Amino acid sequence: MTPYLQSLDPVALVAPGIPFSSTISLFLAALPVAMLFFLLVARRWEAPMAGLAAVAAAGLIALLVHRMPPEFAALAFLHGVLFGILPIGWTVLAGMLVYNLTVETGAFEKVRESVGRLSPDPRMQALLIGFSFGAFLEGAAGSGTPVAICGAILVGLGFPAFEAAVLCLLANTSPVAFGGLSMPLITLSGVTGLHAPTLSVMAGHQLPFFSVVVPAVMLIRSCVWRDIVSIWPALLVSGISFALCQYCCATAHLWGFGEVYPLTDIAGGMVSLLATALFLTVWTPPPMVHPMRGGHGGPVLNGTRDDALSLSVAMAWMPFVFMSGFLMAAGMVRQQEEKSQTAAGAVVAGVPTWIKIPMGPLHLGVQRDEVMRANPDDLEKAIFDFRWATAPGTPVFCAFLLAIPVLGARWSHVRRTFAVTARQMTIPIPTIAIMLGLSYLTKHAGMDAILGHAFASTGALYPLFAAMLGWLGVFLTGTDAGSNALFGSLQKLTALELHRAGQFPGLELEQAQVLICTANSTGGVMGKMIDAQSIVVATAATGQQGREADIFRAVIVPSVVMAALIGLLTLLQAYWAPLQVMVPMPPK
């Protein structure tokens, strides 16, 4: 069967001789993304409906302009939807089940109190809850969970509602690329074909620099400068402990400790929380000179720090301990899968844990335009990896099942947990599935190649724009995983074309692709604080409905500045030899 051949100028093929055909082709390739932006931002459509409209536009363009076979278009969309459900949607669902069970049984109240009692100082509470505990929740569940939970906790501790929302949005940045058990990086690997652990290493060579300063950045708007400087020891302990753990987990497999990068935020959040709490036992923050903006009524909890060490509190934390243990076990199983994989998948201990399902004629049925092809005979793979056992959601769901008897949950608790989680997932999971379907459709049709070819015209400065493109993607889709799904393949193709043009001297092609694609994710995390989903979650959790525009204005400047700094770091790593050594090479 003759493969479907993509074109960088499909309009010229459909209507030969038409003037400005390449410009029209570029406009049509960008139209689905532009429509998504317009419907989400200007028209305020719900994300699933906006995504379906963009899918419809992309489908029509693929069929009528690109002349993509209808069967290929349908299979490409289906492939993306399946990947959006497993592993991404399944992981988000399982994480929320664990959290909601702790809420229903009252265990989460003990978790909240154990954190809140560590210090009466609002700045320390912001560090412990907004940053450290928020990073832990981001790693466990993602999808706005840390903003919702930590925002509600801070309000309960006496923080002004508006400031609580802003603090949590600013804090939920550097952990995001590893959020939801590293779903953004797993998604990026899925759409680009790049080695996920290698992407993790690259992220681990960028984000820790920013993790060190995020604790201070989150307080800039709420506290005067003098009150921030006076607690610099605690800021350093909180930020550096997280950054070191983030680096170690992201790169652990390089040192023979296994692929534990899905646990990066879970481990980093806990290490930061424990390190800061222990530091507060020997160091007391000086009193605030000025009250926190909006006033602060002080903690509403009573009791002593000894309460935080009670057996009941330890039991309340057990679901998250189980989660970490099961995830580590799943990581070891995944390593066995990689070692024993065949064209059909992998079998571990006699059980088929990984089944590779080719997507019919779409698999090896699409060929890139010759300009965007790495090798002359390259054909695009389309295989759905059904990794039911090692998908992060599976060990998390096992933790949920084990937590039921440990927390003493009754059938009514379990029933309400499923009901609440089902309501919460009515928007996120369809959104994830549709966005992935849109990404795979545009990828196989060749629209991302057209956009990548256009972006390559920025030449040597493209690494800076790669990070800003990821930032825009998170603003559009609401998630770093969604941004990676939308633009990941485009970033890889742009890196290919730029490398062929002589850019990135000193880097191999695979290294350049890892750097540029990872920048989409690391730049994207800085857009998390301004996306509509996060802001709506923050306002809902803190009772600030109607103030979305005010919150957006409060966080937009830090968001843009930090995204630009990620872009600048990416630019330096692309061209400056002392930093090029930080760019890893994927395994052959």
For residue 308, what are its two tokens? 């935080």
Rounded CA-CA distance 219/437 in Å is 39
Average pLDDT, stretch 132-150? 78
Note whether residue 433 is domain-resident.
yes
305 falls in which pLDDT band (50, 70, 90)? very low
Rounded CA-CA distance 511/405 in Å is 48
Q: How many CB atoms lie within 10 A of CB 434?
A: 25
Note whether residue 124 is domain-resident.
yes
- pLDDT score, position 418: 96
Note whether residue 479 is domain-resident.
yes
Note whether residue 303 is domain-resident.
no
Kindly tell me if the per-residue pLDDT of 307 is higher than 60: no
pTM as predicted: 0.76
Residue labelled with tokens 């089944």: 355
Kindly tell me if the per-residue pLDDT of 289 is higher than 90: no
Kindly tell me if the per-residue pLDDT of 297 is higher than 60: no
Note whether residue 500 is domain-resident.
yes
DSSP string spanning 51-98? HHHHHHHHHHHHHHTS---HHHHHHHHHHHHHHIIIIIIHHHHHHHHH
Kindly tell me if the per-residue pLDDT of 495 is higher than 80: yes
95 falls in which pLDDT band (50, 70, 90)? confident
- pLDDT score, position 142: 67
300 falls in which pLDDT band (50, 70, 90)? very low
Each residue's pLDDT tens digit, 33-50: 889 878 876 787 877 888
Long-range contacts of 278-287 (CB under 8 A, 24+ apart): 279/233, 279/234, 279/237, 280/118, 280/119, 280/124, 280/234, 283/233, 283/234, 285/119, 285/121, 285/123, 285/124, 285/230, 285/231, 285/234, 286/230, 286/231
Note whether residue 2 is domain-resident.
no
Kindly tell me if the per-residue pLDDT of 536 is higher than 80: no
Give which of 249, 283, 244, 290 is closest to 266, Cα–Cα.
249
The total number of structural domains that make up the chain: 1
Each residue's pLDDT tens digit, 498-531: 998 899 999 999 999 999 999 999 999 998 888 7
Q: How far is C-alpha 352 from the chain's CA centre?
A: 29
- pLDDT score, position 98: 86
Is the model more confident about 573 or about 460? 573
- pLDDT score, position 143: 61
Rounded CA-CA distance 146/221 in Å is 19
The percentage of residues in the chain with a pLDDT greater than 90, rounded to a whole number, is: 47
Mean pLDDT of the chain: 87
Rounded CA-CA distance 564/471 in Å is 9
Rounded CA-CA distance 150/453 in Å is 42
Each residue's pLDDT tens digit, 237-256: 999 999 999 999 999 988 88
Rounded CA-CA distance 433/482 in Å is 9
SS3 233: helix
- pLDDT score, position 133: 86
Is the model more confident about 369 or about 348? 348
Kindly tell me if the per-residue pLDDT of 92 is higher than 60: yes
Note whether residue 585 is domain-resident.
no
Each residue's pLDDT tens digit, 206-242: 999 999 999 999 998 888 899 999 999 999 999 999 9
Q: Which domain holds residue 93?
A: 22-287+313-580
- pLDDT score, position 296: 56
Note whether residue 300 is domain-resident.
no
- pLDDT score, position 301: 44
Please answer whether residues 162 and 294 qualify as being in contact, where contact means their C-beta atoms are separated by less than 8 angstroms. Answer: yes
Which residues pair with residue 386 across a beta bridge? 355
303 falls in which pLDDT band (50, 70, 90)? very low
